[in-house]
Amino acid sequence: MNTIGTSLRLTLFGSSHGHGIGCVLDGVPSGLEVSREDLQREVDRRRPAISIGTPRREEDSVEVLAGIVDDITTGAPIVLFIANRDTDSSKYELFRAIPRPGHADLTARAKYGDAVDLRGGGQFSGRMTAPIVAAGAVAKTILEAIGVRVAAYTQRLGRIVDNEERNFKDIRMAVWENPVRSADAALALDMVNEIMEAKEEGDSVGGVIRCLAVDLPLGVGEPFFDTLEGELAKMLFAIPGVKGVEFGSGFRGAGMRGSENNDQFIIEAGEVRTITNHAGGILGGISNGMPVDIRVAFKPTASISREQKSVDLERMEDTTLKIEGRHDPCIVPRAVAVVEAATAIVLADMCLRGDFIAREYR
Amino acid sequence: MNTIGTSLRLTLFGSSHGHGIGCVLDGVPSGLEVSREDLQREVDRRRPAISIGTPRREEDSVEVLAGIVDDITTGAPIVLFIANRDTDSSKYELFRAIPRPGHADLTARAKYGDAVDLRGGGQFSGRMTAPIVAAGAVAKTILEAIGVRVAAYTQRLGRIVDNEERNFKDIRMAVWENPVRSADAALALDMVNEIMEAKEEGDSVGGVIRCLAVDLPLGVGEPFFDTLEGELAKMLFAIPGVKGVEFGSGFRGAGMRGSENNDQFIIEAGEVRTITNHAGGILGGISNGMPVDIRVAFKPTASISREQKSVDLERMEDTTLKIEGRHDPCIVPRAVAVVEAATAIVLADMCLRGDFIAREYR
Amino acid sequence: MNTIGTSLRLTLFGSSHGHGIGCVLDGVPSGLEVSREDLQREVDRRRPAISIGTPRREEDSVEVLAGIVDDITTGAPIVLFIANRDTDSSKYELFRAIPRPGHADLTARAKYGDAVDLRGGGQFSGRMTAPIVAAGAVAKTILEAIGVRVAAYTQRLGRIVDNEERNFKDIRMAVWENPVRSADAALALDMVNEIMEAKEEGDSVGGVIRCLAVDLPLGVGEPFFDTLEGELAKMLFAIPGVKGVEFGSGFRGAGMRGSENNDQFIIEAGEVRTITNHAGGILGGISNGMPVDIRVAFKPTASISREQKSVDLERMEDTTLKIEGRHDPCIVPRAVAVVEAATAIVLADMCLRGDFIAREYR
Amino acid sequence: MNTIGTSLRLTLFGSSHGHGIGCVLDGVPSGLEVSREDLQREVDRRRPAISIGTPRREEDSVEVLAGIVDDITTGAPIVLFIANRDTDSSKYELFRAIPRPGHADLTARAKYGDAVDLRGGGQFSGRMTAPIVAAGAVAKTILEAIGVRVAAYTQRLGRIVDNEERNFKDIRMAVWENPVRSADAALALDMVNEIMEAKEEGDSVGGVIRCLAVDLPLGVGEPFFDTLEGELAKMLFAIPGVKGVEFGSGFRGAGMRGSENNDQFIIEAGEVRTITNHAGGILGGISNGMPVDIRVAFKPTASISREQKSVDLERMEDTTLKIEGRHDPCIVPRAVAVVEAATAIVLADMCLRGDFIAREYR
């Protein structure tokens, strides 16, 4: 089912080479100011940078089909639609018989049968994340009203790793100044080189995106089963290419001692804070008032132009495959906007749930 | 909401020091053979080993309150109950005012108010995982009918890391032969030492559990939003102490090239297989027929006997805290049964969904 | 799935002749005062009156297994359990082969297969409504906090029809003073006679229960699909024996002119009211501030002692059946407490949803 | 939330005078043949008859935005869209301050605040049922595959009541031959007159629609809480104007004796049947193989041209209101297609659930 969320519910639809892609976002409070331009601005942040991305040139122009009148939400479901224009499906028929390694061709056909729409990756395409980004713009408006802000950046790209602890403000300033969404201008150059090198070799690279959400109130989440980690992870794993999610010290924390990993409490400016933030802002599945700190691992793009081994499903025999087409050698920079949006949607959903609202107003 | 699952639905209830803990498991097909002894055997696998675990001695005797008659499931919801016996709540009142670092004391009170039951960790206690293990035994019976098997082991414990690629059969044989649930007898000794050392120092250690599910049919999962990764991750992050989940090459894959990380296809014994399994058995959110390969990061136990900084919430001032009580210096070995059960519940749920069943019988 | 509700979620379990019956009620706010005696009092209201009901004598003693500590809700799921004691399953094995007319024997077996627990009606028994009544007591406590009150009475019993418009207060006073839950003492006598007459003839009678909910705030419900009518109807149709639900003028309104059926607005004591209440307090699926007015049709009890035609499912041939056992010649009086509870649970659920709470506090 | 369904999930969006109205239908199996023409044909059946309906002339042209490629379902969510063309919103601003009796103006504003879109009834408009009818066309295709057929007709229109027991085939043949969707040509004339008379008097009439579903397999539904009655009722009560739903003998059965209302079993052509069908095809919430027999009560159209009492919400004082605009004096004939579609969607949803499919293939 292409729906996620409890009080804010996102339904995704469309396919890469069909009429278009879009989403329904239900549960948005009425009376919020959201213009088409706000949505377009966010969606544009997901577009590929000229030099390093796919040559597919989608305008990705967002239409509002319902739920917003005169830039004000009405309380009815918001429907966003992005028409597909620059599609070329000629190359995809082959992959029905000879699945591409690392892609969903094989599993899609197993799941949906021969009628599955595999053109351009169909409903498995990274393109499906554009409506998520548009919906994220609405979610950010909801979060703004309670002061929550979200920002993500490329923390790792191939072999280039950003080991600095980063300040939320610095991230927000730096990240849209360079094409790889790095929080550091110098590292950005290295990352661009990493991508160009892979591209020249007909190869691709992956990376890690870190996302911070600050000023989330204490008390968001549950111990079972709608933990803040679990709700975020479920959403993030739906982003094509994601293979790992961790919070705070995550896998690194697994090697620590308790005395080292525990975040000790102090009073700071009249509020309870922790000295460190190894918990990534979450204790017992519930936000503790510290920044929510998420790391998301992306595998390298599956589409590479090198020859690979595959199988002919009709003849059930081994064969080889060389993928042509227009692909990103690295989707990580474009996915930064997606991770931000996905995080914002989940947090907004959790902040619209009845028990949270009741508590906030108590 | 303490419920998870779509076609197989688990509702967890109870608290560490209340009358007991338990669960409702709804959606179990009628006519399956499940004895109380089957459930008890699984729950016993979660009990602490004599030397390395908590001195709390719970019998954890499983009662079947509904849904099974004469060892056969009736199709009605199965209700499992484990009475609490060895409880000593005297030490917990303090933590209401002075929250323990790394614990949910602070967030629980923010979420549920002063009426929250914090005795023994209340509904945040690791003890809540016992009914999950019992429910997992039922889920395994469901999976057995379609040939799916699940096994987990301790892959890392503190500084001791098991880097071997492991065979499913070897894991199943080895893991219950040693108290730390290692897949290797020699490593098991190192891991025991790691725990004993931490314990002596009034400290604790974390670790990583790897879980494999084999013979899951091709085609389980969805691209949005109920991906196989996402559904598993949501469940796994509800296990107390989990801070990271990855599939296949996961975070390691983020540093690879596409040509290295892509799993190329071959025909093997008449079936489509991949040469490597960096995808962890999942492509596009859907199982590809290879083993589902999950790694789960556990933080070190938050309860340590060393003095830690905390705050007095009544006076809103800094203070220190020394936790006494009966705690595990490492929960990882006990969590192996929990990770297995949680994985089995999710996979059984996904294999009971209508679209999967329709396809299997087509 | 044996679960209903969005923000207040009820899961029902057990069977008529198993260990017991019970429920999990999740989403109850913490800090509410609910004693075991409060629950017991409501459940006792569902017990059969000495003269007119089944001779089965269940104590129906409610146990609180979780979620309430020292008569205060903790915010964790509340688990209520009622052990079965006075069970005699000897008579039920027959109905597996020869289904009772009007009962679920045939459909239960089709649905759950041969392993279905049909003893005493299994999970289809009217007995399953006892935990609903207990959960309703908690729901009423939630509703009290916002001033909503619910009361039901027997409006029709067999041929005896109560055509009076009734005042909420009068209903509350009268209804527990007579064994048939009539709002009028004189009619009550007629209704008792109606039951006794049917009983003597080895027959049974049905009836109609009317339920009013007053002081529900304006604005509860939605146009699609969680209408106030739809949410209530879904719950009410789960009560065994219910075959019709209508609101306000209902089926009668279908024969009216618009000019007659429309409820015209007036200002009364500074509030918007309607002169009539043909809408039953609901416009566009949303409460309009007038009393919610529900009518629920119950078929006559299916168990009658007269000989009836049935079929032998093993031999697939016609046969006859004479049901012995302890049955109510009319369940309507006992169902009054159930309709009240079911209504209270739905209204409490809808008043705990985020959008409603946000609006109330705006 | 504007979503309904478990395995087949319908999300409704749009508003009467916005860009358009539409829906997402998720869970449709891949490989079904569904042409745009099939959808259009069903939607056309909902259009008003020339003489007796609203003068609003909507083409209601259905666009398929996603989920169907070359007239074959792909397994992805199906998105249907109907652009609004003939809109005239000038008359609606008034109703924000002076709510129309019988309409949702008051409750819509209470629920969604001042930003609510009330033009043409907004998301409360009967026009929202057009996408339900389109989705129903897809649902009927799903049902056809297992042999289930659905047909509805106008059983009552104002004072004209059709008391004949009707045969499924006769209904299907007759109902689209006359503008009021009667199963009888002579009654149809009376019904037309009933509407014309009301229209001339500036008034409106309601009615009752009966819907039959035949050849539904034994075993669809559950005892708690997803009863076949409850699932159908929840959907049907979302159709604007519906105030009552009953199954089989319904409210009439409440006055019967058990010996009269019980449907006795016989073997007929090797199958278990009941002699009568007072249960409306449902026992214990589960289909028994007999026709599902539903009656749905519609109130008279709220929009009448007579002067009515209302209130001025700004000044909080009594006033009067005379509604002008283009309205149906009776929506019942148009709602026949809607009731059929709504019933088909629910039945298809229930037939796609895992437990049903597993049983069918056992």
Cβ distance B115 to C72 less than 8 Å, yes or no, reads yes
* Average pLDDT score over residue span D214-238: 97
| Chains with ≥3 CB–CB distances under 8 Å to D | A, B, C
Looking at the complex, report in whole angstroms how far the Cα of residue C249 sits from the nearest Cα belonging to chain D.
Answer: 8
Q: Do D111 and A73 touch (CB under 8 A)?
A: no
User: Where residue D54 falls among pLDDT bands split at 50, 70, 90?
Assistant: low
Tell me the H-state helices in D88-159. Answer: 94-97, 105-112, 129-144
Q: Do B225 and A238 touch (CB under 8 A)?
A: yes
Instruction: Single out the residue of C140, C151, C169 nearest to residue C351, CA to CA.
Output: C140
Q: Which residues of chain C lie closer than 8 angstroms to B36, CB-CB? A: none
Section D190-213 average pLDDT: 97
Q: Is the pLDDT of residue D53 over 70?
A: no
Each residue's pLDDT tens digit, D278-331: 999 999 999 999 999 999 999 999 999 999 999 999 999 999 999 886 678 999
Nearest CA in chain C to D332: C254
C-alpha to C-alpha distances, C68 to B47, C65, C71, nearest whole angstrom: 27, 8, 6
Contact residues, chain D, for B354 at CB < 8 Å: 7, 352-354, 356-357
Q: Which chains touch B (3 or more CB pairs under 8 A)?
A: A, C, D
The helix or strand, by DSSP H or E, that contains position B196, with its residue range, turns out to be: helix B185-200
Contact pairs from chain A to chain C, CB under 8 Å: 31
Runs of H (alpha helix) within chain A: 36-44, 93-97, 105-112, 129-144, 168-174, 185-200, 228-236, 250-253, 258-261, 332-351, 354-361
Q: Determine if the pTM surpasses 0.95.
A: yes
Give the residue on B whose Cα is nearest the Cα of A270.
B316
pLDDT at residue B329 tops 90: yes
Residues of chain A with pLDDT under 70: 50-51, 53-58, 326, 361-362
Q: Which residues of D sit within 8 Å Cβ distance of B?
A: 7, 27, 29, 352-358, 361
Alpha helix locations (H) across chain C?
Answer: 36-44, 94-97, 105-112, 129-144, 168-174, 185-200, 228-236, 250-253, 258-261, 332-351, 354-361
Compute and round to an integer the Cα radius of gyration of chain C. Answer: 21
User: Per mean pLDDT, which range of A117-121, B105-109, D8-12, D295-299 is the poorest?
Assistant: A117-121
Give the H/E segment covering residue A149: strand A149-157
The proportion of chain D whose per-residue pLDDT surpasses 90, expressed as a percent, equals 86
Q: How far is CA B309 from the centre of its chain?
A: 30
The interaxial angle of helices C228-236 and D228-236, nearest 10 deg, is 170
State the pairing for strand pair C160-161/C149-157: antiparallel
Residue C49 one-letter amino acid: A
Give D-chain residues touching A20 at CB under 8 angstroms: 65-66
Q: Is D75 in Cβ contact with A14 (below 8 Å)?
A: no
Asked if D262 lies within 8 A of C308 by C-beta distance, the reply is yes
Instruction: Say how far apart CA D54 and CA D127 lie, in whole Å.
Output: 12
Q: What percent of chain B clears pLDDT 70, i.e. is strictly above it? A: 97
What would the pLDDT profile of B221-238 be if each residue is shown by its tens digit?
Answer: 999 999 999 999 999 999
pLDDT band at C51 (very low <50, low <70, confident <90, very high): low
Q: Please report how many Cα atoms fall inside a 13 Å half-sphere around the Cα of residue D236, on the Cβ side.
A: 34
Is the pLDDT confidence value at C52 over 80?
A: no
pLDDT bucket at C352, cuts 50 / 70 / 90: very high
Degrees (nearest 5) of the Cα angle D95, D98, D99?
70
Chain D residue with minimum CA distance to A117: D74
Q: Pick from D353, D349, D355, D357: which is nearest to D143 by CA?
A: D349
Residue range D73-92: mean pLDDT, rounded: 89
- Mind telling me how many Å the CA of C70 is from chain D's nearest CA? 31
% residues pLDDT > 90 (chain A):
86
pLDDT at D91: 76
pLDDT over 90 (residue C360): no
Residue C315 has pLDDT above 80, yes or no: yes
Contact residues on chain C for B74, CB-CB shorter than 8 A:
15, 112, 115-117, 122-123
% chain C with pLDDT above 90? 86
Given a contact cutoff of 8 angstroms between Cβ atoms, the answer to whether A179 and A192 are in contact is yes
Residue in C closest to B26 by C-alpha: C1
Q: Closest chain D residue to A77 measured between Cα atoms? A: D13
C-alpha to C-alpha distance for A330 and A199, rounded to whole angstroms: 9
Mean pLDDT across the stretch B87-114? Answer: 89
| Range B3-361 classified under CATH 1.10.10.10 | no
Residue whose pair of structure tokens reads 């149709």 in the numeric block: C237
Contacts of B194 (CB under 8 A, 6+ apart): B157, B158, B159, B160, B205, B330
The ipTM (two decimal places) reads 0.97
What three-state secondary structure class fits A177? helix
3-state secondary structure of B87: coil
pLDDT attached to residue A56: 60
Residue A314: burial class (beta carbons within 10 Å; 0-12, 13-18, 19+): exposed
Largest CA distance in chain B: 71
| pLDDT value for B215 | 97
Return the residue in C9, C79, C118 with the most chain B beta carbons within 10 A, the one to mutate for interface testing: C79
The residue extents of the domains of chain B are 3-361
Rounded CA separation B245/B272 (Å): 27
Tokens matching residue B88: 């000593």
In angstroms, rounded to a whole number, what is the distance separating the alpha carbons of residues D68 and A116?
A: 10
Q: How confident is the model at residue B361 (pLDDT cuts 50, 70, 90)?
A: low
Residue B325 has pLDDT above 80, yes or no: no
Question: For B158-212, how does the pLDDT look when each residue is reduced to its tens digit (9 = 90+)?
Answer: 999 999 999 899 999 899 999 999 999 999 999 999 999 999 999 999 999 999 9
Please report, in angstroms and rounded to a whole number, the separation of the first and last CA atoms in chain C: 36
Give B77 to chain D, closest Cα distance, Å: 11
Contacts of C353 in chain A (CB under 8 A): 7, 354
What is the residue-averaged pLDDT of chain C? 94
pLDDT in tens, B314-323: 999 999 999 8
* D85-138 residue pLDDT tens: 877 777 788 888 999 999 999 999 999 999 999 888 899 999 999 999 999 999
Q: B149, B171 in Cβ contact below 8 A? A: no
* Amino acid at residue number C183: A
